Amino acid sequence: MTRLHDLYSEQGQSPWLDNLKRGWITSGELQEWIDRGVRGITSNPSIFQKAMTGTDDYDTQLKSLADAGRSIEESYWTLVTTDIVDALEILRPVYESSGGVDGYVSVEVDPALATDTVGTISAARELHQGIDRPNLLVKIPATAEGVPAVRQMIAEGRSVNVTLIFSLDRYLEVMEAYVSGLEACPGDLAGVASVASFFISRTETEVDRRLDAIGTREALDLRGRGAVAQGQVAYELFRKAFSGPRWEALAARGARVQRPLWASTSTKNLAYPDTLYVDTLIGTDTVNTLPDATLEAFEDHGTVARTVDADPGAARGVLAALTAAGVDLDDVSRRLEEEGVAAFAKSFDELLASLTVKAASL
């Protein structure tokens, strides 16, 4: 047994792996991660960019697709779908043994659709229909245009990972989209799953940058505290949202809570502990998706203890102090959402360009 096993069995938090590449699937390394306690997989365009351009593991299939006259974008989605399906099968036993709590693999819609509700709905539906596995989560960004798409997918009984959440206000909208989607979904709700992905270290980096610019003693004393505080307050909102008569009526139909998922949990500032965004956000009914290096670090020296709701008042106090110091948290979230969407779109475009060159050389 490892700390990753303990994290789930003792504290009710599911450790997921924020990475996927074909070499792990074919070599058995992905199965080794699962044996060590990993209970799910998340992916995004940046992850696939690194996987496909950094190795020759995809060359044979890419050449076959090129020879068959497939476009580069069609080839990309075929390569991605192959990895996702293989990972879904490897994680299927986790899905079944957990009763559908874990064992999920996430794949993101085209990031160019982040401001296109209709296009996102169509793309998400196509991924669900094409892959057709019960443990698939389609990732939809929590933009203003993405939230209605989340509701529609849930209403159709399709499981979703809502990604790129940076603010508490948007998180409330995401939870409402999930709950109202469930209310519109007919029949048994036990097969519908969702996680809401709060990005932690990206928020910390931007908040710290602004605190450094303010430069007062009060501001500098708040560095390294903002993102964790926001996550802890988000957990408080989660507990409130999934309680009471409205939720109990859905739970009676088999509905599952939409678990908060802590994403971007590797520390970007080397002055901070490498397990900071794991140790401080542990609680029941949550997920933490970690890069492999952070998983290794937590397994080696992380602390397994409930921390996410140890002091909600103090967490709210930190957010109030940030505002008082001059940090506009609404502006932070707007900037990070724009940057997050742009970064994934850039990775997607760069990957298609790289695949074009590689296909020609093959």
Per-residue pLDDT tens over the stretch 216-255: 999 999 999 999 999 999 999 999 999 999 999 999 999 9
What three-state secondary structure class fits 141? strand
In the structure, what pLDDT confidence band is assigned to residue 1 with cuts at 50, 70 and 90?
confident
Whether residue 54 is predicted with pLDDT greater than 90 in this model: the reply is: no
For residues 77 and 332, give the distance between their C-alpha atoms in angstroms, rounded to a whole number.
33
Residue 331 identity: D
Residue 192's alpha-carbon distances to 121, 163, 251, in angstroms, are 16, 17, 12
Mean pLDDT of the chain: 96
- Which positions are catalytic? 139
The alpha carbon of 165 is separated from its chain's Cα centroid by a whole number of angstroms, namely: 9
Whether residue 171 is predicted with pLDDT greater than 90 in this model: the reply is: yes
In the structure, what pLDDT confidence band is assigned to residue 87 with cuts at 50, 70 and 90?
very high
DSSP labels, 160-196: EEEEEE--HHHHHHHHHHHHHHHHHS-S--TT--EEE
Q: What is the pLDDT of residue 281?
A: 98
Radius of gyration over alpha carbons of the chain, in Å? Answer: 20
Cβ 114 vs Cβ 341: under 8 Å: yes
Measured between alpha carbons, how far apart are the two ends of the chain, in Å? 45
For residues 86 and 280, give the distance between their C-alpha atoms in angstroms, rounded to a whole number.
33
Whether residue 362 is predicted with pLDDT greater than 90 in this model: the reply is: no
Q: What are phi and psi of 244, to 5 degrees?
A: 90, 175
DSSP secondary-structure letter at 305? S
**Which one is predicted more confidently, 54 or 112?**
112
Residue 355's alpha-carbon distances to 2, 72, 145, 316, 346, in angstroms, are 39, 7, 30, 47, 14
What three-state secondary structure class fits 336? helix
pTM of the model: 0.96
Closest CA to 198 of 336, 11, 3: 336
HSE, CB side, 13 Å, CA atoms: give it for residue 47.
20
Average pLDDT over residues 74-86: 97
Domains and CATH numbers, the chain: 3-361 (3.20.20.70)
